[in-house]
């Protein structure tokens, strides 16, 4: 059901990359290499579309990043032959965390800080948890990629797959910020299938996907379901447009999984769209002023 | 009667009328020895025009003049079929221009689709008429604009005009990549099935001119093709990429095929009209 014709999909995706990059006048791309399968596949696809010399993978470790992620990112660069950079974001992230947030007026309620004493300030780092740290790291990586993009005139390529996009498993303006995304219409299962076709090393294909914020973290642990289960449920709900109620009654998919997917899809819609602009005129951007992105390109 | 036809599977630049018209002119001049030079749907503007449909709209006369100024087609041998955004009677249409010397005609797309990734009807009005057109060479043709071809009544009506050749211009995005796709997007196969059946049923040649390239992230299939009156695909252009092909069609064959075609001979269009009206009345009554 989820199997794809890898040769055909490769043709579509490499043409997509080549055309959408070169139309803008650029011929190079830059992407973050996490050591995971999605960015590995995108590196291989970009290499095929533009040539290895025109693709730059950037490894952006934080102090808690696992040694395995770092060596896998390097392995992708080696196997694909693309350009390779490392920029350690630890100092930037820790600098952000160590800075005092001074409360010039009473902001306790605004910041939802519960304290019996009047708070006048705290270090950003005092309030960080795994989730918010993940968002900060993702946005620092976005900053890094866009800076490299501006330096050499290369386009930032995204690596979020369809499973992640539908479930909103990504950081707004972080890893969800990019010029183009060649793999956003492929479920994780399809990413794996296409990765095997492109010769992404087995150790990367077979390991448990992880955001790598702390030891032992996995996507599937975060989401509460395996990718296999999620892909299948999402395919039936989104691609096949099956009625969720009937699907739940059929017993083919656990009702709580269907419920989880639907709730996430709806709650995370905002991550897949440009923000609203208040409409007051007869020509409002993206409402009644509608032009293609590839305008005159 | 032989007809030399150039099929130009173009990759237009979205929203750059000047650039695209110049490309048309180049190809028209290159194929000056042909009887007909065909371009895809919205070949002059690109497909996902959105508000550009309005900004780039020209009257049929203006389009003919622009094209003639660059290509001199009115003095040349080939007739031209090209896609443009047409301003007519205060409306904007997704039209096919047909120009033969100083005679012009336009087919206004009857069914601009608004489903899935399509949003044409938001920007274009619906055409309301189909007419056959006789080329300088005396060949009777019909033209359909992409989605029109999926409405089977339209080729049927054209068959009543006794056309020899149906030109279908398209901008068909590639989709459907499941494991059994065998290297071609699923909808390419659907198109081929559809037009092979029409060619065979109505005993005519079909030239299918699809566009190529990527626009707003969407790949167009290419795979333009020629179908003979027996329903065989005889020629096929490149998948996805720009391509050109000149074919020579023996129109006599279509006429012989038509003359022998028992489906057409025995078909009773008046019965169709009568029974269709009755079926529609029945549908209306039963939905009350």
The string of pLDDT tens digits covering residues A65-99 is 999 999 999 999 999 999 999 999 999 999 999 99
Whether residue A197 lies within 8 A of chain B, CB to CB, comes out as: no
Read off the pLDDT band of A260 (50, 70, 90).
very high
B13 with A180: Cβ contact below 8 A: no
Whether residue A12 lies within 8 A of chain B, CB to CB, comes out as: yes
A19 with B213: Cβ contact below 8 A: yes
ipTM: 0.93
Report the alpha-carbon distance of residue B67 to residue B52 in Å, rounded: 19
A296 with B240: Cβ contact below 8 A: no
Domain count across chain B: 1
A292 with B216: Cβ contact below 8 A: yes
User: Residue A116 above 80 pLDDT?
Assistant: no
Domain interval for residue B102: 2-286
B216 with A8: Cβ contact below 8 A: no
Report the alpha-carbon distance of residue B235 to residue B221 in Å, rounded: 15
User: Residue A115 above 70 pLDDT?
Assistant: no
Q: What is the mean pLDDT of chain B?
A: 96
Count of Cβ atoms closer than 10 Å to residue B123 Cβ: 20
Chain A, 167 to 186: residues with Cβ < 8 Å from chain B are 180
User: Which residues of chain A neighbour B219 with C-beta distances below 8 Å?
Assistant: 12, 15-16
Q: Give the CA distances from residue A222 to residues A269, B53, B112, in Å, rounded to whole numbers and listed in that order.
A: 19, 46, 45
Whether residue A285 lies within 8 A of chain B, CB to CB, comes out as: no
Optimal mutation site among B177, B178, B238, interface A, most CBs of chain A within 10 A = B177
User: Residue B157 above 70 pLDDT?
Assistant: yes
User: Which residues of chain A neighbour B178 with C-beta distances below 8 Å?
Assistant: 3-5
Q: How far is A239 from chain B (nearest CA, A)?
A: 11
B179 with A3: Cβ contact below 8 A: yes
The chain B residue lying nearest A2, using CA atoms, is: B178
User: Residue A117 above 80 pLDDT?
Assistant: no
Q: Give the CA distances from residue B80 to residues A224, B55, B59, B67, in Å, rounded to whole numbers and listed in that order.
A: 60, 23, 16, 10
Q: What is the pLDDT of residue A114?
A: 66
The chain A residue lying nearest B49, using CA atoms, is: A292
A295 with B14: Cβ contact below 8 A: yes
A292 with B48: Cβ contact below 8 A: yes
The chain A residue lying nearest B183, using CA atoms, is: A8
A294 with B180: Cβ contact below 8 A: no
User: Which residues of chain B neighbour A295 with C-beta distances below 8 Å?
Assistant: 14-15, 52
Read off the pLDDT band of A1 (50, 70, 90).
confident
Q: What is the mean pLDDT of chain A?
A: 95
Q: What is the mean pLDDT of residues B127-136?
A: 94
User: Which residues of chain A neighbour B15 with C-beta distances below 8 Å?
Assistant: 291-292, 295-296
Domain spans, chain A:
6-272
Read off the pLDDT band of A129 (50, 70, 90).
confident
User: Which residues of chain B neighbour A3 with C-beta distances below 8 Å?
Assistant: 178-179
Q: What is the pLDDT of residue B264?
A: 83
Cβ B116 vs Cβ B69: under 8 Å: no
CATH label of the domain that carries residue B15? 3.60.110.10
User: Which residues of chain A neighbour B180 with C-beta distances below 8 Å?
Assistant: 5
Helix (H, G, I), strand (E, B) or coil at B12: coil
Q: How far is A165 from chain B (nearest CA, A)?
A: 17
User: Residue A112 above 90 pLDDT?
Assistant: no
B179 with A293: Cβ contact below 8 A: no
Cβ A163 vs Cβ A227: under 8 Å: yes
CATH architecture of A6-272: 3-Layer(aba) Sandwich (3.40)
Whether residue A292 lies within 8 A of chain B, CB to CB, comes out as: yes
User: Which residues of chain B neighbour A24 with C-beta distances below 8 Å?
Assistant: none
Optimal mutation site among B217, B239, B240, B241, interface A, most CBs of chain A within 10 A = B217
Phi, psi of B231 (to 5 degrees): 95, 10
Which of B6, B8, B7 lies closest to B23, judged by CA? B8
Q: Could you tell me which residues of chain B have a Cβ less than 8 Å from any Cβ in chain A?
A: 13-16, 46, 48-52, 174, 177-185, 213-217, 219, 239-240
Cβ B47 vs Cβ B41: under 8 Å: yes
Count of Cβ atoms closer than 10 Å to residue A266 Cβ: 9
Percent of chain B with pLDDT over 70: 100
pLDDT by residue (tens digit) across B226-268? 999 999 999 999 999 999 999 999 999 888 888 888 888 889 9
Q: How far is A136 from chain B (nearest CA, A)?
A: 29
Cβ B210 vs Cβ B168: under 8 Å: no
Count of Cβ atoms closer than 10 Å to residue B156 Cβ: 15
Compare A253 and B181 and report the one with higher pLDDT: A253
The residues, any chain, with a CB within 8 Å of residue A202's CB and separated by 6 or more, are none
Report the alpha-carbon distance of residue B56 to residue B212 in Å, rounded: 21
Cβ B10 vs Cβ B43: under 8 Å: yes
Q: Is A146 exposed, middle or buried (0-12, 13-18, 19+ CB in 10 A)?
A: middle
Cβ B144 vs Cβ B150: under 8 Å: no
Tokens encoding A4: 């794809």
The chain A residue lying nearest B20, using CA atoms, is: A296
């Amino acid at each position: 059901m989820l199997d794809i014709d890898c040769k055909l999909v490769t043709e579509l995706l490499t043409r997509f990359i080549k055309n959408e990059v070169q139309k803008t006048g650029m011929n190079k791309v830059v992407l973050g290499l996490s050591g995971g399968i999605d960015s590995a596949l995108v590196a291989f696809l970009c290499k095929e579309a533009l040539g290895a010399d025109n693709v730059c993978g950037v490894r952006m470790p934080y102090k808690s990043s696992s040694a395995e992620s770092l060596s896998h990112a390097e392995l992708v660069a080696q196997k694909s032959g693309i350009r390779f950079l490392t920029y350690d974001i630890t100092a930037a992230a820790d600098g952000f965390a160590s800075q005092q947030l001074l409360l010039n007026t009473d902001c306790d309620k605004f910041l939802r800080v519960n304290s019996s004493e009047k708070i006048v300030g705290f270090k950003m780092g005092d309030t960080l948890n795994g989730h918010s740290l993940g968002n900060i790291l993702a946005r620092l990586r976005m900053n890094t990629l866009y800076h490299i993009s501006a330096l050499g005139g290369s386009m930032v390529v995204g690596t979020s797959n369809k499973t992640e996009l539908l479930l909103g498993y990504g950081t707004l303006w972080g890893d969800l910020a990019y010029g183009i995304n060649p793999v956003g219409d492929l479920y994780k299962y399809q990413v794996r299938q296409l990765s095997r076709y492109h010769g992404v090393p087995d150790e990367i294909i077979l390991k448990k996907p992880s955001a790598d914020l702390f030891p032992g973290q996995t996507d599937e642990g975060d989401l509460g379901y395996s990718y296999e289960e999620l892909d299948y449920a999402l395919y039936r709900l989104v691609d096949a447009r099956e009625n969720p109620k009937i699907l739940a009654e059929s017993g083919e998919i656990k009702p709580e999984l269907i419920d989880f997917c639907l709730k996430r899809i709806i709650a995370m819609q905002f991550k897949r769209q440009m923000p609203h602009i208040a409409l007051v005129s007869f020509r409002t951007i993206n409402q009644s002023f509608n032009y293609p992105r590839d305008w005159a390109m | 009667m032989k007809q030399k036809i150039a099929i130009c599977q173009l990759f237009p630049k979205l929203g750059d009328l000047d650039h695209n018209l110049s490309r048309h002119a180049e190809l028209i001049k290159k194929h000056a020895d042909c009887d007909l030079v065909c371009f895809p749907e919205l070949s002059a503007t690109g497909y996902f025009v959105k508000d550009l449909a309005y900004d780039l709209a020209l009257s049929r006369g203006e389009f003919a003049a622009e094209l003639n100024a660059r290509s001199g087609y009115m003095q040349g041998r080939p007739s031209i079929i090209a896609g443009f955004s047409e301003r007519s009677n205060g409306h904007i249409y997704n039209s096919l221009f047909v120009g033969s010397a100083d005679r012009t005609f336009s087919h206004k797309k009857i069914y601009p689709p608004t489903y899935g990734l399509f949003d044409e009807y938001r920007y274009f009005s619906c055409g309301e008429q189909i007419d056959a057109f006789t080329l300088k060479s005396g060949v009777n043709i019909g033209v359909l604009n992409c989605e029109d071809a999926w409405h089977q009544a339209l080729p049927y009506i054209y068959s009543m005009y006794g056309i020899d050749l149906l030109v279908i211009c398209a901008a068909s995005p590639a989709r459907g990549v499941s494991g059994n796709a065998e290297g071609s997007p699923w909808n390419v196969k659907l198109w081929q099935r559809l037009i092979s059946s029409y060619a065979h049923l109505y005993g005519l040649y079909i030239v299918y001119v699809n566009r190529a390239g990527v626009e707003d992230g969407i790949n167009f299939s290419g795979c333009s093709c020629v179908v003979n009156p027996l329903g065989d695909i005889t020629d096929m252009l490149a998948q996805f990429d720009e391509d050109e092909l000149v074919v020579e069609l023996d129109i006599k064959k279509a006429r012989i095929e038509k003359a022998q075609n028992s489906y057409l001979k025995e078909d009773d269009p008046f019965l169709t009209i009568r029974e269709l009206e009755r079926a529609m009345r029945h549908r209306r009554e039963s939905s009350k």
